[in-house]
Structure 1
Amino acid sequence: MPCVSTVEKALAAALYAEGDDALDTAASLLAADPAADAELDRRGELLLRGAWERGWQPEDVARLVRRDLDEAHGRLLAGLAVAESAAYGDRLPPRWRAQIAGLGSLGPYRADRFTRATAVLELYRLLARLPRIEPVGPPPGGAPLSAPAPAHEPRMLTRVRALLAKAEATGFPQEAEALTAKAQELMARHSIDEAVLAHGAPSAQEPSACRIGVDAPYETAKAVLLDAVAGANHCRAVWNSAFGFSTVVGFEGDLEAVELLYTSLLVQGTTAMTVAESAQRAGGRKRTKTFRQSFWTAYAARLGDHLAAVAEEVVTGDLLPVLATRELAVTDRADRMFPETTTTRVRGATDPEGWRDGTSAADRARPTGPPRPRLRGRDG
């Protein structure tokens, strides 16, 4: 009869069992057997590889670890991901490589053997239970990339990054709005230039996809904001509320712009909400969840109108057929990835002051009619 290793016994006891008793028993087995450490690490790499093959990427897993576990598990995940990806060499796409590098910045996790074994098993339990999701690219380890990644980002993105950094840093709301509008204009013009260059010429470029985290709290309003940013930049966004991300489909340059602008608008919105809450407290009102929810809902809805208007201003009639061709390609890719989605009306803006301050933060210069945000998401 074959001998069952310590790791096999521990994983059999802990991975699929509920409660802490089985976990404590398994951790005790591992803590008492230092010779099992190498095999335990190998099993972790296999579990992580299985997650990649089911459509997950490093930041996707890290997001769930941050939400459901804690920093110790994040450090363990970083070590696993760096070790598991080391053998792929140039077969790691740039976006994947950047995610691995971000995880590696956490540093190693150190603890006594029992505590460490417990954390390892909790992480492995999460990895083993990850379901299959829509892939946004092949798992690492496929064919080498056809061309090396550029050493520097496009000049347009460098300029946009600088504009948005100024918008985040300024204390003057009108200046932040003007800087953000200029950034959106640059991104729109760049997207048009790319479309014109590709139009009528043979090209292997097709729409791709990436996932962008949509974190609690007020994640519904943040998903609306991301949807608005994506739409203004010729992309489609589909929100997965269960796992805390939206999948954005579009051409690569547009995807980078969407991620950059969305992140900046979150920073600007948080800053504006903090200022608005200070004013509320000065007036004798305490902070409330309904105020913040209404603020974010109004902020996202009004910015959607504003970004769309800025993007449309740079489009002339002769460019419409060119852009329509690209947008059809994006829609086709999104529909193939997500054949079943739902569109729901966003509710929850019940605080008049929060709605007023959120609207003002998004667009002080050009008020429009009451927006009605809608959001695409996965069925189920």
Structure 2
Amino acid sequence: MPDADELVADALAAVRGSDVRQAERQLDRLMVGTGTADGATAVDAALARRLVRGLARLWPRGWQPVDVHRIVRRRLDAGAARLARAALAAQRREQAEPVPDWWDDQLRALAAQDRDAGPEVLAAWTAAEGLDRIDALRAAVDVLALVESLPPIAVLRPPPGSTGTALPRVAGTTRTGSPMLDRVRALLAKAESTTFPAEAEALTAKAQELIARHSIDEALLAAGAERGGDQPSGVRLGVENPYAGAKALLVQEVAAANRCEAVWSDDLGFTTVLGWPADLVAVELLYTSLLVQATAAMLRGRAERRPGSGRRTKVWDESFLNAFALRIGERLRAATDAATEAAGQTEAGADRLLPVLAQRGEAVRERLETLFPGVTRHRLSVRDAEGWSSGTSAADRASLDVGDARRPRQVPGRP
């Protein structure tokens, strides 16, 4: 009889192929196990070992825990994502090299706890999910096949075990532990929940004012400290169906207004945003809030349509969201220009502020060219005039005016 590692390898090869019957036969062999008394335990251990090794190989290839969890959930299902979380916890437990604090922050945010990282990861997950053994084995092999098939992506931050000497240091404010950011989150949460447009506008405008002031202060502080080793960093924001293209366009518009660059990876389900830390925080917070506003406005607009008017709902929705994103971008850029002008007059003067912002913008563009040398553009098309008009009107009513700096940058997705 073959050993457990051979059985796992055969099942994985069969799942990757096109012969469904062969894949089922190999899963049956996994069920039988090695023919010994502890055959099932040996198979589970072999699957877990290979999955943990597969995860470890992803980190130098640019993947982060949140990225792995997102794509497993996107391409498989929520149960598979929970198995991925348990495997992430197991891999962290075995990680011998130094692990940066932000890495553990991601694991905690995913609830990938050390208690899930025991030697019987697969058995514990199977019991928690209430699955029979054949379904559990099928799901585990599917997760393993996906993990081992993931391509290299941009390395945004030094992975575990890296000294960071070949990658940019991340300067500035972190995403957590800041009283200012806590205030912004609270304001945006209230803006999203209120049913009064005037109140939402006031709350969001205040949040944007705090973000804009903080971002400019960070730029001036970094310039004054002359930290020559600091460079732009990046984050990946999930862009899910339906209407992933319109959501990616919204990320792009918010990013461009905040001196960031955005690149949409359609097949992987995320947009990479490159920029300075304070600007990345602004993009993430504002995009999340604006997506809530845009979705709510789209649903209201859909309900107000006359029966039988326009094209089918999907085309109308997509046109609505595209128009919303582009109009929001225009409003944001006007607000950032005003905020920059005001800061130049009251803080350090345009002679100091504008060169600082220009230098930081150039650094972001250089980072884009380094990480994404083959980036392409996607032309936007309008397929429903009524949806486009309604989306533009909704964007005019939306409470969004972030102020942070400079003109928008080119990003894939805009015509």
TM-score for the superposition, normalised by structure 1: 0.87
| Secondary structure class of the residue paired with 1:344 | coil
User: What CA distance in whole angstroms lies between the structure 2 residues aligned with 1:23 and 1:80?
Assistant: 23
User: What CA distance in whole angstroms lies between the structure 1 residues aligned with 2:334 and 2:217?
Assistant: 19
Structure 1 residues 4 and 46, CA, compared in 2 at 3 Å: closer, same or farther? same
Q: Which one is further off, 13-22 or 130-139?
A: 13-22
**Aligned residue identity for 2:41:** A
| Secondary structure class of the residue paired with 1:224 | helix
**Cα deviation 1:197-248 (Å, max 9, x = unaligned):** 1114331432111111111111122111101111122211111111111111
Question: After the TM superposition, which segments of 4 or more aligned residues of structure 1 sit over 6 Å from their partners?
Answer: 144-147
- Contact 2:89–2:112 under 8 Å retained in 1: no
User: What CA distance in whole angstroms lies between the structure 2 residues aligned with 1:254 and 1:297?
Assistant: 23
| Correspondence 1:138 to 2:162 | no
| Correspondence 1:239 to 2:264 | yes
**Cα deviation 1:134-183 (Å, max 9, x = unaligned):** 21122223359999x97952222112111211111111334333433332
Deviation at 1:345, TM superposition (A): 2.5
| Secondary structure class of the residue paired with 2:412 | strand
Structure 1 residues 303 and 62, CA, compared in 2 at 3 Å: closer, same or farther? same
What residue is the counterpart of 2:79 in the other structure? 72
Of all paired residues, the percent bearing the same amino acid is 45
Q: Which one is further off, 53-62 or 3-12?
A: 3-12
What residue is the counterpart of 1:31 in the other structure? 31
| Secondary structure class of the residue paired with 1:215 | coil
Alignment of 1:86-165 (within 5 A): 86-88=93-95, 91-104=98-111, 108=125, 109-143=129-163, 153-165=177-189
- Contact 1:191–1:253 under 8 Å retained in 2: yes
| Correspondence 1:355 to 2:362 | no
Deviation at 1:373, TM superposition (A): 11
Q: Which one is further off, 43-52 or 166-175?
A: 166-175
| Correspondence 1:304 to 2:319 | no
| Secondary structure class of the residue paired with 1:255 | helix
Match for 2:201 among 167, 177, 183? 177
User: What CA distance in whole angstroms lies between the structure 2 residues aligned with 1:246 and 1:232?
Assistant: 16
Match for 1:9 among 2, 7, 10? 7
**Aligned residue identity for 1:360:** S
Q: Which one is further off, 85-94 or 31-40?
A: 85-94
What residue is the counterpart of 2:412 in the other structure? 376
- Contact 2:11–2:27 under 8 Å retained in 1: no
**Cα deviation 1:29-85 (Å, max 9, x = unaligned):** 222231322222111100111222322222222222222211221111111011111
| Secondary structure class of the residue paired with 1:104 | coil
What residue is the counterpart of 2:20 in the other structure? 20
Query: Which ranges in structure 2 are unaligned for 5 or more consecutive residues?
Result: 34-39, 117-124, 345-349, 400-407
- Contact 2:246–2:321 under 8 Å retained in 1: yes
Match for 1:192 among 212, 216, 223? 216
| Correspondence 1:322 to 2:356 | yes
Deviation at 1:88, TM superposition (A): 4.2
- Contact 1:224–1:374 under 8 Å retained in 2: no
- Contact 1:181–1:307 under 8 Å retained in 2: no
Deviation at 1:337, TM superposition (A): 0.9
What residue is the counterpart of 1:369 in the other structure? none
- Contact 2:235–2:274 under 8 Å retained in 1: yes
**Aligned residue identity for 1:338:** F
Alignment of 1:50-65 (within 5 A): 50-65=57-72
- Contact 1:174–1:364 under 8 Å retained in 2: no
TM-score for the superposition, normalised by structure 2: 0.80
- Contact 2:253–2:328 under 8 Å retained in 1: yes
User: What CA distance in whole angstroms lies between the structure 2 residues aligned with 1:357 and 1:173?
Assistant: 17
Structure 1 residues 68 and 361, CA, compared in 2 at 3 Å: closer, same or farther? same
Deviation at 1:14, TM superposition (A): 2.5
User: What CA distance in whole angstroms lies between the structure 2 residues aligned with 1:290 and 1:373?
Assistant: 28
Deviation at 1:7, TM superposition (A): 2.8
**Aligned residue identity for 1:101:** R
Deviation at 1:110, TM superposition (A): 3.8
Alignment length, in residue pairs? 367
Deviation at 1:285, TM superposition (A): 4.8
- Contact 1:184–1:310 under 8 Å retained in 2: no
